[in-house]
Amino acid sequence: MSKKVLYYLNQFFSQIGGEDQAGIAPQFKEEPVGPATVFAAGIKEHGKYAGTMICGDNFFNEHNEEALQFLEMMYHDLHPDLVIAGPAFNAGRYGMACAGVAEFFNKKGVPVISGMYEENPGLETTRRNAYVFPTSDSAAGMRKALPAMIGLAKKVLTEQKVDPNEDGYFTQGKRLTEMTEDIGAKRAVDMLLKRLKNEEFETELPMPEFDKVDPAPAIANLSKATIALVTTGGIVPKGNPDHLQSASAQKWVKYDVSKLDRLGEDYYTVHGGYDPVYANEFPDRVAPLDQLRQFEKTGYIGKVHEFFYSTTGTGTAVGNSEKFGREIGKELKAAGVDAVILTST
């Protein structure tokens, strides 16, 4: 019996529409659409194409419970042997939806294959639950991404052993037990000797790489300092006039607070990653303008910067976060700001 392959696409790659259709509810099509047509043709000798699951990016992320109910129905009705999600490239909301699909089917014991750009916010969750191929940051890389995903799908469907070094997908952070001829002590000494001789060696435990940022000098006199307020907690004026995204932020916003003693009832959060009740009740809990004003009035600090800056941190790509930091920092430095109170959630 042929193994069944199920495909997941968002509204854009299923050719339904762009942002105007990002809120469409889940639907199922028996035939392949968009990139799924290439995929279905590529695996036809190894598996049966079972259909295409489609859901709007906004719907999946904002109505997650209903989206998961749809996935449950698909699993119950079709019992797929393999699920394909994406590739999502650097589309943040699509990446987060693929992450949700991968997590759901992984819990069911169904293997999942996807493709993402290295800075897609959905990558870290997806790679733990699926085989994820590195892609370019845009759909221009589709011709390279799909053949790699098809090749791995064939191996999975024929129950061949897969390996990130051989097959090219992101490592999953899993520690696997393997039998070797040499004990760990000997392997460690062998690696050390190769390192001392400047010979090539392969570590068994790759270490993460972290940025090193030197701390700024301490402020000599706070009573003369200008302090700015910046948050990744998604605090914006009621109505969200600049349409800041609730997750996977694509921008930052700023507002004049020079005449305010606190943010108060005119502000709230649009952040999609934490319970908003207490933040909406009193937004200064997340962005403490009220306390900064008290410090200003008592002379503890010189003054509060006239503009307040905000974005959302949940799911936001590292590349975007660095970009926001550079842009906001450049603006604050030009305004003569001495220090920043940076709050999250």
* pLDDT of res. 110: 96
Q: Identify whether the C-beta of residue 235 lies closer than 8 Å to the C-beta of residue 287.
A: yes
pLDDT of 328:
97
The CATH fold assigned to 3-167 is Rossmann fold (3.40.50)
For the stretch 35-80, pLDDT in tens is 999 999 999 889 899 999 999 999 998 898 999 999 999 999 999 9
The DSSP secondary-structure symbol of 169 reads: P
pLDDT higher for 213 or 302?
302
Strands ordered across the beta sheet of 3-9: 27-29, 47-54, 3-9, 82-89, 112-116, 131-134
Residue-wise pLDDT tens digits, 70-106: 999 999 999 999 999 989 998 888 999 999 999 999 9
pLDDT greater than 70 at residue 1: no
Domain boundaries, the chain: 3-167, 222-343
The least confident of 18-22, 275-279, 308-312 is 18-22
Least confident of 34-38, 176-180, 211-215: 176-180
DSSP letter string, 195-261:
HHTT-----SSPPP-----PPPPPPS-GGG-EEEEEESB-EEETT-TT---SSS----EEEE-TT-S
Each residue's pLDDT tens digit, 225-254: 999 999 999 999 999 999 999 987 889 999
Statement: residue 176 has pLDDT above 70: no
pLDDT band at 120 (very low <50, low <70, confident <90, very high): confident
Averaged pLDDT of the chain? 92
The pLDDT of 153-169, averaged and rounded, is 91
pTM as predicted: 0.64
pLDDT of residue 178: 75
Query: Which pLDDT does position 55 carry in this prediction?
Result: 96
pLDDT at 214 over 90: no
C-alpha span between 293 and 290 (Å, rounded): 5
Separation between Cα atoms, residue 245 and residue 250, nearest integer Å = 7
Give me the pLDDT at residue 57, please: 92
pLDDT of residue 201: 87
- C-alpha 123: how far from its chain's center? 6
